[in-house]
Structures are given as structure tokens and as C-alpha cells.
Chains A and B, each alone.
Chain A
Amino acid sequence: MPVMTAARQLTTLNINGDHHEAAVKPSDLLVEVLRDKLGLIGTKRGCDTGKCGGCTVLLDGKAVRSCLVLAVSAQGAEITTIEGLAPEGEMHPIQRAFVEHGAIQCGFCTPGMVMFTKAYLDEEPTPTRAQIQEALTANICRCTGYVKIIDAVEELAQANAK
């Protein structure tokens, strides 16, 4: 059974429905490859320890911390980043709700918040406000005080309930 050496190897990653090739070492983090090799800078690095949620991407539809994922281990998975949420020039309903509720100030936490919300509502479409508050502890925001973010997600949950 092959052991990959520590050196760079051509690696294929399935990101937002496209195949991307990059020269990747086993020690390269997914967040590093997305940002530094593939130019997908929507995903942010806030803490590198899995606490802040700024690096949140979806792996096979589930929200994960890309700062704690080795890029090589994500081969074969469907990776979705903020850039892949909606077609070019369009807004996903989650992005629209955030804008309309004033849930964005500096915008640094926003890609992680939005990607987490996507995965969360896909799994649990009609959470209560209390459940949303508990779930959103996954992502830190330093600007907004969270209320408008929760308002935005609550509106989406209510729309799902109709």
C-alpha cells in the first residue's frame, strides 16, 4: 500500500463542481490550497485552530473547518466554497437574506457564516430561533453582535416552513 512522500505531488480536487489540479504536499491544509494555490480567497483564515469558523467550507455537503483538513485527504470529496454557492453574478437566498437583514459589516466572518448556514439548513430546514442561536456558535463574528445574522437565518427557516 503506497505511502505518499512528503514532497509535492499533482493532486486533483473537486471544487464547486470543477476539477482543479495543484501541486500539493501532504502537509498543505485545504484552506491554504484554496487560497494560496487556487485563488479562492473567499474562505478566510481566522484562527487556524478550528474555533472561529472563518475557514468553513462544505465537504460532501457538511460544514467543516478547512484549516484542520489536509488537502490530500479531501481528494474524492465534493468541496463547496463560498464562490460556488451561486452562479456568477447571482445571489443565493442565504446571501440575499444576509444583505437584506444588515447581517454583514466587515464581511470577514460572512463566507463562513453563509456556508455553515447552507449546510445547517440543508440538514435541519426549520430550526427554532433558539436552535439557530445554538448552532451558530460554530462561527465567531466580531462586528455585528450576531442578532441580525440570527434574524436572517430565522427568516430562511420560516420560508422553509411554508
Chain B
Amino acid sequence: MQPFAYAEPRTLTEAVSLLADLKGEPCDILAGGTDLLVMMQQHKIRPKTIINIRKVAGLDHVDVQPGAGARIGALATIRSLEQSRALAAKYPMLAQAVRFFGSISIRNMATIGGNLARGNPTADLPPVLICLDARVHVAGPRGARTIPVEEFFVRTGVTLLEKDEILTEVEIPEPTAGARGAYVKQCMRAVDLATVGVGVMVSPEKPGPVCREIRIAYAGAAPVPLRAIDAENALRGALLTKENLLAAAALGAAQARPRGDSWRADPDYRRQLLRALTVRMISQAMEQPADRGE
């Protein structure tokens, strides 16, 4: 790899201050490194300075609070999410998603903050976090701010994070009563990135069942994690019949803006996958016990 300078800030203040000093220069934040180092080895990016924030204290918590959702530090590894029984009990959809994430070795290194901040549209956690209505907390020289995950992504590799800001925490609200979720990652080999990922959170209501509320979000369907709003609108208030699911799934696939080449799959195949998996995930979510808050 091209040589670079290297720093290991120990506190958030040091990290923010260092980023401010380096603003305008090609530098990158290193946490897990499972995306950054791959891109550097492939010479896709050549930072002159790497700021390793893995030693910054106080950013790796996984706090699940009875009746008050969860707060997860940006440096929490995906493996620590996987191993949190409290998190799995409160958000089964998240527990399902993390098992698709790379491999245990990758999960030991990768962080939730990195999975968001790198802006990869095939990342697994963003669709789940969109379904769960999560927000991210950001620190920087102009002060702290909060951004809904749904609004966080701009285009491939680009998020609302400024060059001198650091994502510090992901906040997930208490699940709504009666909500059930499911997530699937379709990929070529077990450790590959998603061809597409489909996450669904649905609140059915009897009799019917009728769809009281629904969220559908996709990975690999656009330059950003995509909320399938047309599909959601078609189902909200409607009976959850197979026909209605198919019609909604078609709208979801139509809303997709997949990459034009055949990297992992061509646009036609991605749309077919999205249609099939949208129906499958709504059905699977319906079979789950309702998410229980605590």
C-alpha cells in the first residue's frame, strides 16, 4: 500500500481536533478496517493520513434499556451486537441480520459505525436500521447533531458526515407494539457482500390481517440504502393477502435504481430478487412473534 501517516487518538476530543487540523487533506478514519483496508489494497483510495479511532474510549457500548430502546456506540463490533442477548430479544430482525454479516472473523473487526459511515449501498445494517427508525449521533467541531438513518446516505460512498465529523452512536427507539421484522441477504457466497438485501417491519392488525404499518428497506437496490415507499403505501391499510403482497413487491422492485452493469447481478435480476424477497420477508415477518419492548 502507499505509505501514510498514522494517529491513534485516545479521546473523542483528540479525534475531532485531529480531523479539524487535517480538513482538506486526504485522510480517512479507521475503525474495523474491513472496508477501508480492502479499498486501500485495491488502490481505490490513497489517504495520506489514517486516524485509527479504535482506541477512543467510551464508544463501544451496547446498552439495551427496558422500555427505552437501545443505544449502541459506533465502535461496537458486529460480533458484540451478535452476542448481546438483550439486543436480540428486543430486535429479532437485527439479530437475524448480523448473522448474514460477513463471517465471525469479519464481525470481530467491523463496527456498526463503519457499516453506516462508509456509505456502501450493499451494507446490511442500514436497511434494518431504517426499518427500526434508528438515528445516528455525530460529533464534530461545530457541535453534536442527530440524523435519521433514512436520511443519512447521499450516494455510493457518501453520507451526510462532513470530513471533520465522527459518527459516535446509533440510537434505536423502542419497537412499536405488535411490530414484527425479518431481514434476508441474498449473496453469491456466504462471505460476499449483498447482491440485494431486503428488510421488512410490519404491524398487522386483526381481523384481516390488515397492514396497520409497514416499513420496507433494501440493500443493493440503489446508490443508497433504499426505503421502498411506494410498496409501503400500497400496503398500508390494506389486507395482507398474497395478491396485495405481490403488487406491493412489484412497486418495490420498480422503485429500485440498481447499478446498470452486471456486477453480482444485472438490473433485471436484481429487480426479480427484490420482488421475490419482499413477498418472502413480509410473509416471514408475519410468522414472527411480535417484537416485544421491555
Q: Do the two chains belong together in a single complex?
A: yes
Q: Are A27 and B2 in contact (CB under 8 A)?
A: yes
> Shortest CB–CB separation between residue A29 and chain B, in angstroms?
8
Spot the interface stretch: B31-39, B223-231, B283-291. B31-39
Would you call the interface of chain A mostly helix, strand, loop, or mixed? Answer: mixed
Does residue B30 face the partner (Cβ distance < 8 Å to A)? yes
The residue on B at minimum CB distance from A49 is: B38
- Interface size on A, as a range, is 35 or more
Please provide the chain A residues from 16 to 59 with a CB less than 8 Å away from any CB of chain B in the complex.
25-27, 29, 48-51, 53, 56, 59
Q: Are A50 and B106 in contact (CB under 8 A)?
A: yes
Q: Are A50 and B38 in contact (CB under 8 A)?
A: yes
The residue on A at minimum CB distance from B48 is: A6
Bound CA–CA A118/B88 (angstroms) = 25
Q: Are A65 and B41 in contact (CB under 8 A)?
A: no
Q: Are A64 and B109 in contact (CB under 8 A)?
A: yes
Q: Which residues of chain B are near A101, meaning CB under 8 Å?
A: none
Q: Are B106 and A65 in contact (CB under 8 A)?
A: yes
Spot the interface stretch: B3-11, B156-164, B174-182. B3-11
Q: Are B30 and A137 in contact (CB under 8 A)?
A: no
Q: Which residues of chain B are near A148, meaning CB under 8 Å?
A: none
> Shortest CB–CB separation between residue A11 and chain B, in angstroms?
11
Bound CA–CA A138/B34 (angstroms) = 14
Q: Are A68 and B34 in contact (CB under 8 A)?
A: yes
Q: Which residues of chain B are near A119, meaning CB under 8 Å?
A: 104
- What is the number of residues of chain B that contact chain A, defined by CB distance less than 8 Å? 36
Q: Are A27 and B106 in contact (CB under 8 A)?
A: no
Q: Are A27 and B1 in contact (CB under 8 A)?
A: yes
The residue on A at minimum CB distance from B99 is: A134
Given the known A-B contacts A137-B191, A138-B105, are A4 and B33 also in contact in the complex, defined by CB atoms under 8 Å?
no
Does residue A156 face the partner (Cβ distance < 8 Å to B)? no
Bound CA–CA A162/B230 (angstroms) = 55
Q: Which residues of chain A are near B103, meaning CB under 8 Å?
A: 53, 135, 137-139
Most B CB contacts (10 A, CB to CB) among A50, A56, A72, A137 go to: A50
The residue on A at minimum CB distance from B77 is: A62
Q: Are A49 and B6 in contact (CB under 8 A)?
A: no
Q: Are A27 and B191 in contact (CB under 8 A)?
A: no
Bound CA–CA A114/B10 (angstroms) = 34
> Shortest CB–CB separation between residue A60 and chain B, in angstroms?
10
Bound CA–CA A69/B105 (angstroms) = 12
Q: Are A137 and B190 in contact (CB under 8 A)?
A: yes
Q: Are A138 and B191 in contact (CB under 8 A)?
A: yes
Bound CA–CA A106/B42 (angstroms) = 28
Does residue B14 face the partner (Cβ distance < 8 Å to A)? yes
Does residue B272 face the partner (Cβ distance < 8 Å to A)? no
Which 9 pairs show the lowest CB-CB distances between chains A and B? A138-B103, A26-B6, A137-B190, A6-B3, A4-B6, A68-B37, A3-B7, A62-B108, A63-B105
A sample of 5 more A-B contacts (CB under 8 A), given A27-B4, A62-B79, A120-B104, is A3-B18, A29-B37, A73-B52, A135-B103, A138-B191
